[in-house]
Amino acid sequence: MTAKEDPTIQPLLDQHRSEAERLLNGMRAVVLLLLAATGAFYASSLPPAVNRVNLLLLVPILGWTVGQWIVFRHRTQLPRWLTVANPLIDVTWITLLMGGYALAGRVELGLRSPMFLAYFAVLASRPITSSTRLAATTAALAVGEYSVLSLGLLLSTGTRLAATPVEAAVGHGLSPLDECAKVLLLAVSGCVAVYATSWQARLLRSYHEQARHREQLEIALARAQLRSLELQLHPHFLFNTLNTITALLRTDARAAERVVAGLSELLRFSLRGAAEQEVSLERELELLRRYVEIQQLRFSDRLRVELLVDPRARRALVPSFLLQPLVENSIHHGIAPRASGGSVRVLVEREENTIMLTVTDDGIGAGAATRARRGEGTSGASGGGVGLGNTRARLRHLYGNAHRFEAGARPEGGFEVHIEIPFRDAAESTSPAILEVVA
């Protein structure tokens, strides 16, 4: 597949070529202004016919150069027809200028003019401004036009032909061998320009494909890491719930049965969207309610949980299984150690394009704060790295620098976790605005 056939890289190539074409247009303007200044300086010593050639050919090409800058200077990308037309016009203009000098003065003046070197400047710029096909067309045009020009002038003007290049060098006519050598050099330069153009396009395509492949690998790795982090939460939660059931079996068998039933519903609900990294806020809150119901069977009136949700945030997408570990952290480290229990508040707000989630408790605070600073999880029994550390890692993978995570003890007592993530609208919202207290 060539770079032209690759739909993913063609816009990138067009953008780079457009930028290079603007640069070359500025260089063309500088060269033309220098030629115009030189022609004006020597005008008094040049034949009138040569001055007319300068005027007739320099003015239009200078107008073309300045005109395209005026018309297209505000466009982010030049039209493709302009990048095709410029090299063809440049080659033809060089040929016309040399032919005009030959007809207005002497054939030697045209064919030996330093303007012949301008062909090489045009060919040298092809790798950065042209496709391979356009580079080949430009090279063929330069070789063809100069071959026709030199042959036509030699045959039609009766110019004396020098027997050797040495005679031509001292001013005794033109050497056919010299002209053939110049055509050959143009052809070789054209081949080099075409190859360099093709090589540059292949190099850019190869780099682009490698970068895309590397990006796909990084995305796959990030997804695997996210999945691993998420899977850590389920056995951790299950472990703590089974501990709750074990504790209730000794004191309240019926409550233990209700916890088992609630756990069954909770697991069914959570596994329904196990493959999703983000879910609607409504689903996340529903999962949290089911978890809170289980915990209230354990703590009874020692636990109070408030859910306060901004109506403007109800359609937001949030990381799946986000709130439950944070509430569990507050219950396990803040509320459970206190004989009198306490309360947990979950606040969800929206400001413009940001969703803010805050989980606050009025528990003991200090122990949880120490664990948060060390990046440990919500339960030492199930190992570190779960809970707060897990949440921090998942947010970093999902949102990069576009999120904010803060956790620490509150001055008035208790512990608080504050999260800010970009607002993204869920496909649809099925529940009304939530403002409730789970008693």
Three-state SS letters, 109-175 = HHHCCHHHHHHHHHHHCHHHHCCHHHHHHHHHHHHHHHHHHHHHHHHHCCCCECCCHHHHHCCCCEC
Q: What is the pLDDT of residues 199-256, one digit of tens each?
A: 988 888 888 787 777 777 666 555 555 554 454 445 656 776 777 778 777 777 777 7
Considering only residues 382 and 96, tell me which one the structure prediction assigns the higher pLDDT. 96
Residue (of 273, 223, 279) closest to 428 by Cα position: 279
Give residue 362's identity as a one-letter amino acid code: D
Q: What gap in Å lies between CA 161 and CA 427, rounded to an integer?
A: 83
Domains annotated on the chain, with CATH: 10-214 (no CATH), 252-438 (3.30.565.10)
Lowest mean pLDDT among 13-17, 52-56, 91-95: 13-17
Cβ distance 269 to 291 under 8 Å? no
pLDDT of residue 7: 59
Average pLDDT of the segment spanning 21-37: 89
Q: What gap in Å lies between CA 162 and CA 175, rounded to an integer?
A: 5
Q: What is the pTM of this model?
A: 0.51
Strands (E), 288-367: 303-309, 317-319, 342-351, 354-361
Q: What gap in Å lies between CA 303 and CA 326, rounded to an integer?
A: 15
pLDDT of residue 220: 59
pLDDT of residue 222: 58
**Above pLDDT 90, what percent of the chain?**
23
Strands 342-351 and 303-309: parallel
Lowest mean pLDDT among 10-19, 153-162, 196-205, 382-391: 382-391
Length of the chain: 439
* 92 pLDDT higher than 90: yes
pLDDT of residue 379: 37
Which band of pLDDT confidence, cut at 50, 70 and 90, is reported for residue 439?
Answer: very low
Lowest mean pLDDT among 144-148, 295-299, 401-405: 295-299
pLDDT of residue 17: 82
* 80 pLDDT higher than 60: yes
Residue 438 neighbours by CB distance under 10 Å: 16
**Above pLDDT 70, what percent of the chain?**
78
Burial class (CB in 10 A: 0-12, 13-18, 19+), 217: exposed
pLDDT of residue 61: 92
